[in-house]
Structure 1
Amino acid sequence: MHKPLRNLVLSLAGALALVASAPGWSQGSDLLGRINANKEITIATEARYAPFEYVDNGKIVGYDADLMAYVLKSLPDVKVKQLDLPFQGLLPGLDAKRFDIVVTAVTVNKDRASHFAFTLPVADATTGVLLRSNETSIKSPDDLNGKIVGSQTGSAQLQALIALDKKLKDAGGPGLKQIKQYVAFDEAYADLAVGRLDAVAQSLANLGPLMKSRPGVFAVLPQTIGPKSYFAWVVRKDADSASLLKLFSDGIARANQDGTMKKLQQKWFGSTMDVPTELPAPSI
């Protein structure tokens, strides 16, 4: 081999060896590979959604937090960097690659599923209607005609409320008097309690623990609004995130099968719920 050519080959080989040995890099590396190499995963959460996740003594706790800890046993050497952010910033931040996965109660719907990938379901997300306990004029969703109802900005529960408003109007009623949007559900609960709202649209899974924590303040309408839906966690919809999605979904499946999920539901909700072992096609 000519000396210049030989030197070029050796230089290229050395460069490739140096790159291959760099931290976080490997041939065919994906997001999970980089997480393992860097020994850190960045997770985004909205810790104002009890009992799924909330802050207690400076620590994020709740159903999702416990389930996440169970799933992350598959990554024993990886440190968790968890960010507490407003719900409205979670999916845009994931899209912008500011974190690796969203672990919070995100309702699976058609719009989100067209752009993001969801894990297996972690809980029922069907929308219910929260009332004051002394409310006597609202006995069915039809009675929400002319009422002021609140929900969280950007939530699937807000979309269910908008759909209900259209349904009421299509049936010849006046529809909702006003739909008020809130950054967090706690603000809506406070306005409902003092009479600034007539009702709040929220997932049933959240409403039981809320009423237990504030006895005598609230009641739940017997009928739900909108179709059956589920909460899941979210990653980017690309090949780079596919193995991370599988790791989390496999962990959720184990928790569902070995009874861990039911134990955590009993702990955080005071009851259990059926969660499918596959992700159903969203109907909303």
Structure 2
Amino acid sequence: MKKRVQGFLLAISLIGLFLLVKEADAAAKTTITVATDSDTAPFTYKEDDKFKGYDIDLVKAIFKDSKKYKLKFQTVPFDSILTGLDAGKYQMAANDFNYNEERAEKYVFSDPVSKSNYAITSSSGKTYKRLDDLSGKSTEVLSGSNYAQVLENWNAANPDKKAIDINYVSGTTGITSRLQHIENGKIDFILYDAISSAYIVDDQGLDLKVNQVEEQIGGETDGLEYLLFPKDEEGEKLQQFVNKRLAALKKDGTLAKLSKKYFGGDYVSDL
């Protein structure tokens, strides 16, 4: 009996020691706070108050079993994500971010994590496939987004044509709300990525038409999605860690698996 009690006490002591070591290891890890607006399905959204989406599961896979980092996701209005990176509140941003030169001056990009074409969503009775088709039409955009920049550039390059009516909205007016504004006649179209547009229209049962843009917009980075980091020493270290893990996840098929799960197809193997 005495030996049995001693064995039980030893087991309890070992469990306690294991828990203490585990807590110490967790405390020693660097917390990476990932900013996301939780309103850009299927890239990032919430379901039963849990973070979901391609970007979310991808980031989890990247940091899985990391001995150096631990993750924390935080919902942030889209137009506050980058200012939060600037202020050091977040160490990483995951929100279907595209590349542009203005961002590249201030932030560090991961290797691309998915590729989607631009698409124009309109009422079911209208078809817009080129930017010229949008002349004189109205839309809503988030200031500073790639989609806003594309439309602003078209207006600047076509002073002889009727300008696209660009209405700037805050990050609290999510893409789902903006698409609903087409259905109720408030605006004519939304320029957005094809994956998200088709997903939301189908998920919400909206009577809208999604057409991929037939012309090339931008350069080699057109349609590519990235994770973002602050442009400093820590941000660059994190970028290197993420890129190394991305290469491994692409090789083992994890990226393709997540793409098929959330996008309904393989949007990663050709990256």
Query: Which residue does 2:188 correspond to in 1?
Result: 198
Q: Are 1:134 and 2:121 matched, yes or no?
A: no
Query: Which residue does 1:180 correspond to in 2?
Result: 167
Q: Are 1:71 and 2:59 matched, yes or no?
A: no
What secondary structure sits across from 1:93 in the alignment? helix
**RMSD between aligned residues:** 2.2
TM-score of the aligned structures, taking structure 2 as reference length: 0.80
CA distance in 1 between counterparts of 2:44 and 2:83 reads: 20
Q: CA deviation at 1:65?
A: 1.0
Letter in 1 for 2:192: Q
CA distance in 1 between counterparts of 2:190 and 2:27 reads: 42
Letter in 2 for 1:234: L
Query: Which residue does 2:48 correspond to in 1?
Result: 57
Question: Displaced runs of 4+ in structure 1, greater than 6 A?
Answer: none
Contact 2:113 2:268 in 1 (8 A): no
TM-score of the aligned structures, taking structure 1 as reference length: 0.77
2:141 pairs, out of 140, 143, 151, with 151
Query: CA 1:224/1:60 → structure 2, altered by over 3 Å: closer, same or farther?
Result: farther
The sequence identity of aligned pairs, in percent, is 25
Query: Which residue does 1:244 correspond to in 2?
Result: 238
Contact 2:116 2:267 in 1 (8 A): no
Contact 2:63 2:70 in 1 (8 A): no
Query: CA 1:231/1:67 → structure 2, altered by over 3 Å: closer, same or farther?
Result: same
Contact 2:97 2:225 in 1 (8 A): yes
What secondary structure sits across from 1:233 in the alignment? strand
Contact 2:120 2:129 in 1 (8 A): no
Q: Are 1:87 and 2:78 matched, yes or no?
A: yes
CA distance in 1 between counterparts of 2:242 and 2:261 reads: 21
Q: CA deviation at 1:102?
A: 1.4
The answer for unaligned runs of 5 or more in structure 2 is 1-25
Query: Which residue does 2:209 correspond to in 1?
Result: 219
Q: Deviations over 1:195-225 (max 9, x none)?
A: 1111001112212212321446111234256
What secondary structure sits across from 2:119 in the alignment? strand
Q: CA deviation at 1:59?
A: 0.6
Q: Are 1:160 and 2:150 matched, yes or no?
A: yes
Between Structure 1 and Structure 2, how many residues are aligned? 239
Query: Which residue does 1:266 correspond to in 2?
Result: 260
